[in-house]
Structure 1
Amino acid sequence: MRSVVMATRLPLILIGIALTLTSPLHHEVWLSAGGAALIMLGVASAWLPIRRVDREPVTVLPPVRGRWLGVNSPADKVPSHGVHSNGQTYAIDFVYWPDEDVEWKAVRPWPMVQQPTAFPGFGQPVFAPVTGTVVHAADRRRDHWSRKSWPALAYFFIVEGPVRELIGPSMLLGNHVVVDAGDGTFAVLAHLRRGSVSVEVGQTVDAGDRVAECGNSGNTTEPHLHFQLMDRRRASTAAGIPFRFAGHATPGNGEPLVS
């Protein structure tokens, strides 16, 4: 059921909108009601864990080196990003923040937007958290400017974010790599820098191998790395899998992981 709903979310919503808007032309009230139901089903699919994966946490290596802060962490809440869609139930974001004496803030009143090169994480190396085979590698999407000021965040949450969520994984994850670790476990590294992916589909990687650089592509407010495990190759039909980092506790929101 989840596979059907998740893979057809955008068509469901578009059909629902079309039915609702055209129902007056046909003088059929049920078309409007049916359209509204399709819209609600499509939207609800992002939040409902329709298919549950009952598995123990998978041990992986941290995909970053240095001092990174956990954001939207499953150590604090599940689903960590507020939705179960696209395998994000246990996802975590990492923001590179090497200066312990300066507080990282999710929102900055000014400047309104910044180029990704203004952030210390942009271009930092990203490493494979598991040994396996690369089954997806994309790095053609642009690295956009930041969305950290209040006006930019309002646009991000009201307009950009929902549109990306509805369109699906390619718009959400931006440039990303998926590694098949076997046993129904797929590791995702997302929001990578355009042109930085150094692996190809079919290539075998070892845990700890460098695969790309941190970027600001996809559904992001600033350069960071999005990491998640899921049970299928395609995020649109996948459920999230819990994980633990070898030798490190999973950092909560704002807590550092130093590796």
Structure 2
Amino acid sequence: MTTRTRVVLLSSIPQLVWLAVVTQGVTGCWTAENGGHWSGSLLLVLATTVLGVFFSIPSSTTFGIPYRPIDAVLLMVCAVSALRIDHWSSGFDTETFAFGAAATIAAVSAAIASRALAVSDSSALRPRFPVDGAQWTVLAGEGRLLNHHWVAPLQRAAVDLVMVDRRGSSHRGILARSDEDYYAFGTPVRSPIDGTVVRCGDGLDDGNLDPRKPAGNHVVLSDGSEEILIAHLKKGSVAVAAGEQVHVGQLLGSVGNSGNSTEPHLHIHAQRDGRAVRIVFSDVRGRMWPGRRVVRR
């Protein structure tokens, strides 16, 4: 089994779980015989919607269909199914209702807790957004829960940027067969700050998942007080050298899929005195919450 096949199968797990849960919820609404069963099933669908929005479940399903339009259609089906119920209070199903309510409360609580536990350094770094054109979705970001970067203290405010189309899909077609199928692959990456190249690396193959060299091809910049790591660059694209002075907007390389990366995207994180620093881009209004869409012209 190739590395890409393993990655596709692993990345499909949360999508399949999401599909199974919402299918159960919608089926429950459609077959409900009383208000308790219907309300509980509807709450289950709402809970999965909250998790998808706040924890950035992948922007599209394995088949390239966006989650949010699917959620909207399914919620409409749930609403219409209420017309099939003749006796709302007769034999009220308290067990199904309680389960749906608990799932919704848990999802909302998780979303609130993730924000409360986020990196909250008030002196956030304000670099320029490092890529141009199209739409970018923020995967990872400041939240603690369901943030795979949290285990690495210096990356707790890391931002992953994925280019998406109008569907919210990061690649062309139904399934991506190569790195070139991803919209982000090969997009120029420009320096977000004026500073010095502390170190950089190139020569690692794209599409070869390598946890031993997590940053892959990369560039580390310093402005004197903070260091910024820009990772997973395309093999052969790094355009600077260690010790070189760079300016905002200068070409650093291209978006790739090297290192510990499951698909072409750009990883950026900053540190100051051995602590993670929250990133708020100077030319993008607002903070980088997971799931946020950034439109560039």
Instruction: Report if TM-score (shorter chain) is over 0.5.
Output: yes
Please give the alpha-carbon distance, in whole angstroms, between the structure 2 residues aligned to 1:59 and 1:78: 24
Paired residues for 1:4-19 under 5 Å: none
What residue is the counterpart of 1:119 in the other structure?
Answer: 182
Shift in CA distance, 172/257, structure 1 to aligned 2, threshold 3 Å = same
Q: Is the 8 A contact 1:72 1:253 kept in 2?
A: yes
Matched, 1:256 2:293: yes
Larger gyration radius, structure 1 or structure 2:
2
Paired position in structure 1 for 2:152? 85
Cα distance change, pair 209–255 in 1 and its aligned pair in 2 (3 A): same
User: In the alignment, does 2:202 pair up with 1:139?
Assistant: yes
- Report which of the two has the higher share of helix: 2
Alpha-carbon distance in structure 2 between the residues aligned to 1:230 and 1:79: 21
Query: Where does structure 2 lack aligned partners over 5 or more consecutive residues?
Result: 1-118
Q: How many residues align?
A: 175
Task: State the SS of the aligned residue for 1:244.
Answer: coil
**1:104 maps onto 2:187 in alignment:** no
Does residue 1:191 correspond to 2:228, yes or no?
A: no
Higher relative contact order (CA 8 A, sep 6+): 1
What amino acid is the match of 1:192?
L
CA shift, 1:128, in A, is 0.9
- For residues 77 and 175 of structure 1, the distance between their equivalents in structure 2, rounded to whole angstroms, comes to 26
1:79 & 1:257 partners in 2: Cα distance? 21
- TM-score normalised to the size of structure 1? 0.60
Q: What residue number does 2:123 align with?
A: 56
Q: What secondary structure, in the 3-state scheme, does the structure 2 residue paired with 1:250 have?
A: coil
- Contact residue 130 and residue 187 of structure 1 kept, 8 A: no
The CA distance in 2 between the partners of 1:73 and 1:228, in whole Å, is 9
Deviations 1:105-129 (A, max 9, x none): 79x9x75x73211111110011111
Which of 171, 193, 207 is equivalent to 1:130? Answer: 193
| Equivalent residue, structure 2, for 1:178 | 220
Instruction: Determine which of 204, 221, 229 is the counterpart of 2:262.
Output: 221
How far the C-alpha of 1:177 sits from its partner, in A, is: 0.2
Is 1:68 the counterpart of 2:68 in the alignment?
no
Report if aligned partners of 1:251, 1:257 keep a CA contact under 8 Å in 2: no
TM-score by length of 2: 0.53
Residue 131 of structure 1: CA displacement? 0.8
Alpha-carbon distance in 2 for matches of 1:78, 1:246? 26
**Over 6 Å off, 4+ runs:** none
Identify unmatched segments of 5+ residues in structure 1. 1-51, 146-159, 233-237
- Cα offset, 1:139, TM superposition: 1.2
Task: Give distance in 1, aligned partners of 2:145 and 2:282.
Answer: 21
Shift of 1:86: 6.1
Q: Which amino acid aligns with 2:198?
A: V
On the 8 A contact 2:170/2:182 being kept in 1, the answer is no
1:243 to 279, 283, 286: 279
Deviation string for 1:157-204 (max 9, x for gaps)?
Answer: xxx78xx2xx4xxx1111110001112x00111000000000011111
1:79–1:90: 8 Å Cα contact kept in structure 2? Answer: no
